């Protein structure tokens, strides 16, 4: 037995302790992967081994615990396959599992080492650096309003056409029909079409009318009381044209905020008016007033028809057009398609839900990360916009990667080229936002390994001590 074997054992045990110590030291390092030393025996044309050598130091690419941080740029790879791609200031690419990122002064998304996070532009296939958006998001002019409304089937009809009054007057057993209109309490006698003709007025006197034989007195061509309705009599009903200033000319009104091409807000008021039924269907007229002014042309209105089951059968969609005001900053004319698909007319209260697709401009507020790696910018107007998708890399031989410090690895000939993709595709893991992946160091296991390595070191030291005693014995034999 020589000193070589013991020395090699001491060296190997010391290196093993270095690896274990490094694991323990990085137990709190985000994205760190624990290492383990592998050993090989040494022979050199000898039947007796010449000791041990450290064959390699492998890293365990198992997944660490994912913990939430709440930081908007933090992200964790939630699975075994995948590494973030980052670029150093000199352009060299590195790979890491540490998802602690920030926005630098140039709005680049970088890690603590200043390496920029890489990904794909929306719809792109080339890997580029990810940045935080600046400036306002463009406004979007409203082009559609989608309504889902229930119109009360029991609402009072607002006459669209004048109904000429008719009264049956009976005197001396003889009944005659008389037609009239009335305004301000004054009756005007007409023919059946409503054309005034004083000669058709009933003579002064007392009459009975209707099935209840209601008494009617005519004096000077005017009835002493309102003429009865029912029993063959028809009450006069004047047409009520739509007038936004006359609450009697519509049944319900709902305002909707829309936006022009500059992001300016405008109010579209939808006025619902129940009209006379037609063709066995209930009919509702919808008029639109924009910013208090009826749109151009004024004929832009919807006529909604509902069958006897309360289902919408015609009238959707309609279109309203108007040109927003503003002499100094005129916006483009608006043409808005207004749909009522799914609307009903049931015997309940009026209700309405609507969605319009326009919005004003908004400032950048924050960022969120989707499980598929999408970087989603959130704006103050409630709009979100995808600004890119993370790129993840995988390698055929992860053990071939070269650790370069700073929680990163570099590509080598042994690792092979990176296989790039988006999270959740091609076997790659998904992403969890506002979280990080903790170190995968098992502290209990490392402490046990440290005891074993220590005992190994002591045992090898004993072999050297024994060899020294043998050598001393040989020297003392002379």
Under DSSP, is residue 69 helix (H, G, I), strand (E, B) or coil? Answer: coil
Can you give the pTM of this predicted structure? 0.72
Q: Given this model, what pLDDT does residue 298 score? A: 65
Q: Given this model, what pLDDT does residue 128 score? A: 96
Q: Which tokens is 347 given?
A: 């015997």
Q: Which tokens is 36 given?
A: 């383990």
Under DSSP, is residue 443 helix (H, G, I), strand (E, B) or coil? Answer: helix
Q: Say which CATH topology domain 144-158+240-356 has.
A: Tick-borne Encephalitis virus Glycoprotein; domain 1 (2.60.98)
Q: At 1, is the pLDDT very low, low, confident or very high (cuts 50, 70, 90)? A: low
Domain ranges of the chain: 3-58+462-475, 66-133+365-437, 144-158+240-356, 165-223
Under DSSP, is residue 161 helix (H, G, I), strand (E, B) or coil? Answer: coil
Q: Name the strand (E) or helix (H) holding 4.
A: helix 3-25
pLDDT digits (tens, 9 = 90+) for 271-297: 999 999 999 999 999 999 998 887 766
pLDDT at position 99 over 90: yes
Buried b (16+ CB within 10 A) or exposed e, 111-135: beeebbbbbbeeeeeebebbbbbee
Q: Quick check: 240 and 159 in contact, CB under 8 A? A: yes
Q: At 102, is the pLDDT very low, low, confident or very high (cuts 50, 70, 90)? A: very high
pLDDT digits (tens, 9 = 90+) for 419-445: 999 999 999 999 999 999 999 999 999
pLDDT digits (tens, 9 = 90+) for 120-134: 999 899 999 999 998
pLDDT at position 83 over 60: yes
pLDDT at position 301 over 70: yes
Q: Which tokens is 322 given?
A: 């108007």
N- to C-terminal Cα separation, the chain: 21
Whole-Å CA distances, 190 to 170, 199, 219, 233, 311: 18, 9, 17, 15, 40
Under DSSP, is residue 278 helix (H, G, I), strand (E, B) or coil? Answer: strand
DSSP calls for 306-374: E-TTSBEEE---EEEEE----SSSPPPPEEEEEE-TT-B--SS--EEEEEE--B--B-EEEEEE-TT-E
């Amino acid at each position: 037995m020589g000193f070589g074997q013991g020395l090699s054992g001491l060296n190997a045990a010391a290196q093993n302790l270095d690896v274990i110590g490094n694991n323990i030291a990085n137990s709190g390092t985000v994205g760190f992967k624990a290492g383990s030393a592998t050993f090989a025996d040494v022979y050199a044309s000898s039947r007796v081994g010449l000791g041990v050598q450290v064959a390699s130091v492998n890293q365990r690419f198992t997944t660490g615990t994912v913990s939430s941080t709440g930081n908007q740029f933090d992200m964790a790879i939630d699975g075994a396959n995948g590494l973030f791609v980052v670029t150093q200031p000199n352009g060299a690419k590195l790979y890491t599992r540490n998802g602690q990122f920030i926005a630098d002064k140039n709005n680049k998304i970088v890690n603590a080492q200043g390496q920029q996070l890489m990904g794909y532009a929306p719809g792109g296939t080339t890997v580029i650096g990810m940045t935080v958006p600046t400036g306002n998001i463009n406004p979007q002019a409203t082009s559609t309003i989608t309504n889902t409304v229930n119109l009360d089937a029991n609402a009072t009809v607002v006459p669209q056409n004048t109904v000429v009054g008719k009264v049956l007057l009976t005197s001396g057993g003889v009944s005659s029909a008389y037609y009239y209109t009335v305004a301000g309490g004054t009756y005007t006698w007409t023919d059946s079409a409503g054309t005034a003709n004083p000669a058709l007025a009933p003579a002064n006197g007392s009459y009975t009318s209707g099935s209840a034989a209601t008494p009617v007195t005519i004096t000077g061509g005017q009835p002493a009381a309102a003429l009865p309705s029912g029993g063959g009599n028809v009450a006069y009903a004047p047409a009520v044209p739509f007038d936004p200033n006359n609450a009697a000319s519509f049944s319900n009104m709902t305002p909707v905020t829309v936006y022009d091409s500059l992001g300016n807000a405008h109010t579209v008021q939808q006025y619902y008016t129940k009209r006379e039924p037609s063709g066995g269907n209930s009919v509702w007229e919808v008029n639109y007033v924009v910013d208090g002014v009826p749109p151009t042309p004024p004929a832009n209105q919807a006529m909604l028809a509902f069958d006897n089951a309360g289902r919408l059968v015609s009238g959707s969609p309609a279109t309203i057009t108007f040109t927003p005001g503003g002499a100094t900053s005129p916006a483009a004319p608006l043409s808005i398609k207004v749909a009522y698909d799914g609307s009903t007319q049931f015997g309940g209260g009026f209700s309405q839900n609507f969605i319009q697709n326009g919005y004003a401009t908004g400032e950048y507020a924050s960022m969120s990360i989707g499980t598929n790696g999408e970087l989603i910018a959130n704006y103050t107007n409630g709009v979100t916009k995808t600004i890119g998708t993370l790129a993840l890399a995988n390698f055929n031989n992860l053990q071939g990667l070269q650790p370069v410090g700073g929680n990163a690895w570099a590509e080598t000939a042994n690792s092979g080229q990176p296989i790039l993709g988006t999270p959740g595709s091609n076997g790659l893991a998904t992403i969890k936002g506002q979280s990080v992946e903790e170190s995968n160091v098992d502290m209990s296991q490392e402490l046990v390994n440290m005891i074993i390595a220590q005992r190994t070191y002591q045992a090898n030291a004993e072999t050297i001590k024994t060899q020294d005693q043998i050598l001393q014995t040989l020297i003392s034999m002379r």
